[in-house]
Amino acid sequence: MLAVRRAAQRTSVGLVPRRLPIRQVARLLTTTSAQTDRETITRLLYSIGTKREVERYLRIFSASSHPSQPAKFAVIKIGGAVLDQIDELALSLSFLYRVGLYPVVLHGAGPQLNEIIEAEGVTPDYIDGIRITDARTLAIARRVFMEENLKLVAALEKLGTRARPITSGVFTADYLDKDKYGLVGKITRVDKRPLEASIRAGALPILTSLAESTEGQILNVNADIAAGELAKELEPLKIVYLNDKGGLFHGVTGEKLDVINLDEEYTGLMKEPWVKYGTKLKLREIKELLDHLPRSSSVAIIRADSLQKELFTDSGAGTLIRRGYKLFKHNSIEAVGPDRIRQVIHDRDPEVQQGTQSVSGVLSDLKKTPYTIYGDEPFDVVAIVSHPPGEVPVMTKLLASRNGILNSVVDNVFNSIKKDHRKLFWTAPADDENRSWHFERADGSFTRAGKSLFWYGINDVHEVERIVNEMEAKGRIERAYLPVAPSTPPHRLAASSASGVRSYSTLARGIQFHKKVPGGSRGYATAVETSTEPKKVALIGARGYTGQALVNLLDNHPHLSLTHVSSRQLAGYSLQGYTKSPITYQNLSTAEVEEMEKSGAVDAWVMALPNGVCKPFVDAIDRGAEGKAAGKKGVIVDLSADYRFEKEWTYGLPELYSRADIRASSRISNPGCYATSVQMLLAPLLPYIDLRAPPTVFGISGYSGAGTVAGQNDPDGRPTTTPKVTPSSLNGGVRPYSLTDHIHEREASVHLSSLLTLSPSEPSSAAPISKLDVETGPAAEDALIRSGNPLKVSFIPVVAPWFSGIISTANIPLKDGVKLTASDVRGLFEKKYEGERGVRALGKVPDITDVMNQQGFVWGGVQVHSSGHRVVVVGGVDNLLKGAASQCLQNLNLALGYDEFAGIPLPQ
298 forms beta bridges with 238
What Cα–Cα distance (Å) separates residue 616 from each residue in 355, 637, 641? 19, 15, 15
For the four alpha carbons of 268, 270, 276 and 281, in that order, the dihedral sign comes to positive
Provide CB contacts within 8 A for 224, sequence distance 6+: 77, 108, 241, 285
- For the beta carbon of residue 761, count every other beta carbon within 10 angstroms: 18
Per annotation, catalytic residue among 207, 673, 772, 892: 673
Alpha carbons 668 and 259: distance in angstroms, whole number:
40
Provide CB contacts within 8 A for 796, sequence distance 6+: 696, 697, 698, 699, 736, 739
* Helix/strand/coil for 662: helix
Instruction: Report the largest interatomic distance among the alpha carbons of the chain, rounded to a whole angstrom.
Output: 113
Say which amino acid occupies 487: S
- Continuous segment of H or E residues that includes residue 411: helix 409-420
Provide Rg for the chain, Cα atoms.
31
Alpha carbons 481 and 483: distance in angstroms, whole number:
7
Nearest one of 71, 172, 141, 129 to 282, comparing CA atoms? 129
CA 599 centroid distance within chain: 39
**Beta strand 721-723 with 857-864: parallel, antiparallel or unpaired?**
unpaired
Alpha carbons 515 and 445: distance in angstroms, whole number:
11
Classify residue 351 by burial, with Cβ atoms within 10 Å: 0-12, 13-18, 19+. Answer: middle
For 820-835, the DSSP string reads --HHHHHHHHHHHTTT
876 forms beta bridges with 807, 858
The helix, strand and coil proportions of the chain, stated in percent and rounded to the nearest 5, come to 35, 20, 45
Say which amino acid occupies 782: D
Q: Do the beta carbons of residue 732 and residue 791 sit within 8 Å?
A: no
Alpha carbons 288 and 229: distance in angstroms, whole number:
11
Within the chain, how many helices (H) and strands (E) appear?
Answer: 31, 39
For 97-156, the DSSP string reads HHTT---EEEE--HHHHHHHHHHTTPPP-EETTEEPB-HHHHHHHHHHHHHHHHHHHHHH
What Cα–Cα distance (Å) separates residue 703 from each residue in 400, 737, 745? 47, 12, 19
Alpha carbons 794 and 799: distance in angstroms, whole number:
17
For the four alpha carbons of 238, 239, 242 and 247, in that order, the dihedral sign comes to negative
- For the beta carbon of residue 664, count every other beta carbon within 10 angstroms: 18
Q: Do the beta carbons of residue 395 and residue 426 sit within 8 Å?
A: yes
Q: For residue 259, report the phi and psi dihedrals to the nearest 5 degrees.
A: -135, 135
Say which amino acid occupies 517: V
Q: Do the beta carbons of residue 883 and residue 680 sit within 8 Å?
A: no
User: What is the rounded (10 degree) CA torsion for 688, 692, 693, 696?
Assistant: 80
Output DSSP code: residue 755. Answer: T
CA 283 centroid distance within chain: 31
What Cα–Cα distance (Å) separates residue 749 from each residue in 63, 662, 806? 22, 20, 19
- Continuous segment of H or E residues that includes residue 24: helix 22-31
What Cα–Cα distance (Å) separates residue 713 from each residue in 545, 583, 710? 17, 20, 9
673 is catalytic: yes
Residues labelled as active-site residues: 673
